[in-house]
Amino acid sequence: MKIAFIGLGNMGAPMARNLAAAGHAVTGFDTAAVAVEGVTMAGSAADAVRAADVAITMLPSGAILRAVADEIVPAMRRGAVHLDCSTVDVASARAVAETAQAAGLSALDAPVSGGVGGAEAGTLTFMVGGDEAGFKTALELFEIMGKKAVHCGPSGNGQAAKICNNMILGATMIVTCEAFALADKLGLDRQAMFDVVSTSSGSSWSMNSYCPAPGIGPTSPADNDYRPGFSADLMLKDLRLAMQAAEEADADTPLGTAAAALYARFVEEEDGAGRDFSAMLPRFERRGRG
């Protein structure tokens, strides 16, 4: 396929590189001066997409996505696919999809899970909203860039799946860190704690696969001084998107709201900025009930 890739940052660059390595003709654009192996750079986003069968965007916010869509949609040929892999608010995803569909394009919102490591290894998971025909066209590309793509329904549902998943993840990581800090103060050995919880009803991905306690369980960012695999800053972004969606949908999310407030305090008032989201554990270790 002829592919355009707009947004060649930490995630976009390895995704585009993997597509080029698989034999697709990839034309890229980024506002920063970047070079990606196998990718031909264009002078503008509109120039990048003119001949594309699929135009992929990986952008930092809904506002930027809307602005880029306004530029690229008129330049794309009818029948092409706009595949947005950004994590943005549901309303922006649906508005951009409506613009694309009105221009005769297929539109997919397909945020990802797996981080920079998954982008580099081609093991991302895609949560996809949009029409079935567009999903079938993009499936070959999902299989190159990732290990799994789930079609979640109409436009916006990919973003909905992402923020619901990460609301669960944010809340479970907090309570996992709280539990380790409590176990410490009760004199319970961390390894014993892990051995019980990871095989009992308290097990979760946060405990079993991404344990926040150094030296316990599989290797995780806790074993690398909490250098981010998934940063607390990004968790805060996703939780705020979840809270925005909850407000718009009139959904009661007390634990999600509490998690968003804790990560806001951790990132903006404490030492969480630039650290992994599991660095909540040393935060709770230092704190009492006061």
Residue tagged 């006061």 (tokens): 290
Q: Where in the chain is the domain with CATH 3.40.50.720?
A: 2-154
Alpha carbons 259 and 236: distance in angstroms, whole number: 9
Which CATH code is given to the segment(s) 2-154? Answer: 3.40.50.720
Eight-state DSSP code of residue 268: H
Q: Is residue 19 scored above 80 in pLDDT?
A: yes
Q: Check if 136 is active-site.
A: no
Which CATH code is given to the segment(s) 160-286? Answer: 1.10.1040.10
Query: Which residue in the list 2, 148, 162, 185 is annotated as catalytic?
Result: 162
Q: Is residue 74 scored above 80 in pLDDT?
A: yes
**pLDDT on residue 275:** 97
Q: Is residue 290 scored above 80 in pLDDT?
A: no
User: pLDDT category, 26, cuts 50, 70, 90?
Assistant: very high
Average pLDDT, the chain: 96
Torsion angles phi and psi, residue 35, rounded to 5:
-130, 130
Average pLDDT over residues 138-153: 97
29-49, pLDDT tens digit by residue? 999 989 999 999 999 999 999
55, β-bridge pairs: 4, 82
Average pLDDT over residues 117-139: 95
Alpha carbons 146 and 203: distance in angstroms, whole number: 26
Single out the residue of 104, 64, 74 nearest to residue 84, CA to CA: 64
Average pLDDT over residues 3-8: 98
Average pLDDT over residues 122-143: 96
The angle formed by the CA atoms of residues 149, 150 and 152, to the nearest 5 degrees, is: 145
Average pLDDT over residues 1-26: 97
**pLDDT on residue 289:** 85
What Å distances lie between residue 217 and 118, 194, 205, 207, CA to CA?
Answer: 20, 7, 11, 8
Q: How far is CA 150 from the centre of its chain?
A: 14
Q: Where in the chain is the domain with CATH 1.10.1040.10?
A: 160-286
User: How many other β-carbons are positioned within 10 Å of the β-carbon of residue 209?
Assistant: 12
Torsion angles phi and psi, residue 41, rounded to 5:
-90, 140
HEC-encoded secondary structure of 59-81? CCCHHHHHHHHHHHHHHCCCCCE
DSSP-H helix ranges across the chain: 12-21, 45-49, 62-72, 90-102, 115-121, 132-145, 157-185, 190-197, 205-208, 232-249, 254-268, 280-285
Q: Is residue 157 scored above 90 in pLDDT?
A: yes
**pLDDT on residue 115:** 86
**pLDDT on residue 116:** 87
User: pLDDT category, 67, cuts 50, 70, 90?
Assistant: very high
CB 176 within 8 A of CB 212: yes
Rg (CA), the chain: 20
181-199, pLDDT tens digit by residue? 999 999 999 999 999 999 9
